[in-house]
Chains A and B, each alone.
Chain A
Amino acid sequence: MIQFKNVSKVYPNGTRALNKVNISIEKGEFVFIVGASGAGKSTFLKLIMKEEQPSSGTIFINGINTTEMKRRKVPYLRRTMGIVFQDFRLIDKMTVFDNVAFAMRVIGARPRAVKKRVHYILGLVGLKDKAKSRPAELSGGEQQRVSLARALVNNPTLIIADEPTGNIDPEMSFEIIELLNEINKQGTTIIVVTHEHELVQKFKNRVIEIQDGEVISDTGAATEKADVPIEISEDALAQIPEEIAEEIPDVSSEELNKEALQAIVDGEAAEE
Chain B
Amino acid sequence: MRGFGYLIKEGVKSVWNNRMMSAASIGVLVSCLLITGAAMLVSLNVRSVVEQVGKDNQITVFLTEDVDELTAIQKVGPEIRRLDNISACEFYSKDEAIVEWQNELGPLFGELQGEENPLPNAFHVTMVDLSQYADTVANIKGVEGVDIISDRSDVAKRLTDLDRLVTQVGLWLVAALAIISLFIISNSVRMTMYSRRFEISIMKSVGATNHFVRTPFVIEGIVLGILSGVIASVIIAFLYEAMISAVKYIVPINEIPYSELSTQMTIGFILFGMVVGATGALISIGRYLNMEGGEILGW
Contact = CB atoms under 8 A, between A and B. Distances in A.
Given A105-B6, A272-B210, 6 more contacts: A75-B210, A102-B206, A105-B3, A106-B3, A108-B2, A110-B2
Nearest to A82: B206
Interface of B: 1-3, 6, 198-199, 201-212, 292-293
A272 to B, nearest CB: 6
A272 B204 CA distance: 14
B292 A51 contact: yes
12 contacts: A46-B293, A51-B292, A72-B209, A81-B207, A89-B201, A102-B202, A105-B3, A108-B3, A108-B212, A110-B2, A150-B206, A272-B209
A248 B189 CA distance: 41
A89 B201 CA distance: 9
Contacts of A110: 2
A102 B201 CA distance: 12
Nearest to A78: B207
A271 B215 CA distance: 12
A103 B204 CA distance: 10
B199 A75 contact: no
Interface of A: 46, 49, 51-52, 72, 75-79, 81-83, 89, 91, 102-103, 105-110, 150, 154, 260, 269, 271-272
A98 to B, nearest CB: 11
A78 B205 contact: yes
Contacts of B2: 108-110
A114 to B, nearest CB: 10
Ranked 5 nearest A-B pairs via Cβ: A79-B207, A108-B2, A78-B207, A106-B208, A108-B3
Given A49-B293, A271-B211, A154 B206 contact: yes
A260 B207 contact: yes
A52 B202 CA distance: 16
Q: Considering residues B202, B204, B209, B210, which has the most beta carbons from chain A within 10 angstroms of its beta carbon? A: B209
Contact of A91 (B198, B207, B208, B212): B198
A49 B212 contact: no
Nearest to B212: A106
B215 to A, nearest CB: 10
Contacts of A271: 1, 209, 211-212
